[in-house]
Amino acid sequence: MWNERFSEPEFTYGKEPNDFLRAEYQRIPARGRVLCLAEGQGRNAVFLAQQGYQVTALDQSSVGLKRAAELATERGVTIETLQADLSEHDLGSGWDGIICIFGHTPPAVRARVHAQIADALMPGGAYILECYTPKQHSMPGRGGPPPELKDFLVSLSDLEREISGLDFTIGREVEREVNEGSHHQGLSSTVQLVATKV
Ligand SMILES: C[S@@+](CC[C@H](N)C(=O)[O-])C[C@H]1O[C@@H](n2cnc3c(N)ncnc32)[C@H](O)[C@@H]1O
């Protein structure tokens, strides 16, 4: 499904980074190593590389990662791409930042990933996430998993239950206008997180 979507000529979510990431990326120590989870076509990874970070973009989609590498070349930066399935991939350690922007997965996969975040981050490192909440299906905006995959949506209480060993510097559910390519548009309900390892 994702390879098909990412084969469309237009970048599915545009080439510009997510707004929340753009506002909060400096929580990640400067010039650090950043792992971008479920990074798709690389708009956020390329943005972080442009800010001086050493970036690895992870996704299951080979087509998405190919587009990510092309975008990096277009913007004159280098990123590493890693094709991996989060249901079985181990995050490793030594990351100064980990991000997950609209990386919706089954709850068991999400919980498995979140159980690894604290050990994967360096002290002072940050985990930055924005995802659609369960309220999204009653919002006018377009974006997020379809109704039959409603358990892929993420609430703040899910994050509080799944993530331990980090300080929630920002943890909130918001309604905001999203404008990211053709597939994320309009007034939407999202959960936003900056969680820091002290
Ligand atoms: C809505 S897109 C978001 C892409 C990107 N983070 C962005 O904001 O532009 C969701 C992404 O999650 C990826 N994904 C879903 N399940 C995954 C899994 N189990 N392992 C790795 N990537 C996964 C898809 O391939 C897709 O690129």
Sheet strands side by side (includes 167-180): 80-83, 54-59, 33-37, 95-101, 121-132, 184-196, 167-180
Domain count, the chain: 1
Angle between helices 43-50 and 62-75 (to 10 degrees): 30
pLDDT greater than 90 at residue 194? yes
- CA 38 to ligand 1 centroid distance, Å: 4
| Per-residue pLDDT, 51 | 98
Q: Which two tokens stand for residue 190?
A: 């999202």
Using most ligand atoms within 8 A of CB, pick from 4, 22, 39 the residue to mutate for ligand 1: 39
| Cβ of 38 less than 6 Å from ligand 1 | yes
User: Could you list the residue range(s) of the whole structural domain that residue 169 is in?
Assistant: 2-196
Q: 98 and 127 in contact (C-beta within 8 Å)?
A: yes
- CA 122 to ligand 1 centroid distance, Å: 24
Nearest CA residue ID for atom 6, ligand 1: 39
| CA distances (Å), origin 23, targets 32, 101, 180 | 17, 13, 15
| Per-residue pLDDT, 164 | 97
| Cβ of 82 less than 6 Å from ligand 1 | no
| Cβ of 43 less than 6 Å from ligand 1 | yes
| Cβ of 40 less than 6 Å from ligand 1 | yes
pLDDT digits (tens, 9 = 90+) for 114-129: 999 999 999 999 999 9
- CA 100 to ligand 1 centroid distance, Å: 9
* CB atoms inside a 10 Å sphere around CB 155: 15
Mean pLDDT of the chain: 97
Q: Quick one: which atom of ligand 1 is closest to the CA of 41?
A: 9
| Cβ of 86 less than 6 Å from ligand 1 | yes
| Cβ of 18 less than 6 Å from ligand 1 | yes
Beta bridge partners of 174: 190
Segment 149-165 shows an average pLDDT of 98
Strands (DSSP E) along 74-154, which ranges?
Answer: 80-83, 95-101, 121-132
| Cβ of 39 less than 6 Å from ligand 1 | yes
pLDDT digits (tens, 9 = 90+) for 12-50: 999 999 999 999 999 999 999 999 999 999 999 999 999
Q: Taking the alpha carbons of 28, 104, 112, 93 in that order, is the dihedral positive or negative? A: negative
- The CATH number of whichever domain residue 128 belongs to comes to 3.40.50.150
Which pTM was predicted?
0.98
How far is residue 108 CA from its own chain's centroid? 17
The burial of 78, by beta-carbon neighbours within 10 Å (0-12 exposed, 13-18 middle, 19 or more buried), is given as: exposed
pLDDT confidence bin for 157, thresholds 50/70/90: very high
The CA dihedral of 166, 137, 38, 195, to the nearest 10 degrees, is -10
pLDDT digits (tens, 9 = 90+) for 53-78: 999 999 999 999 999 999 999 999 99
The burial of 162, by beta-carbon neighbours within 10 Å (0-12 exposed, 13-18 middle, 19 or more buried), is given as: middle
pLDDT greater than 90 at residue 1? no
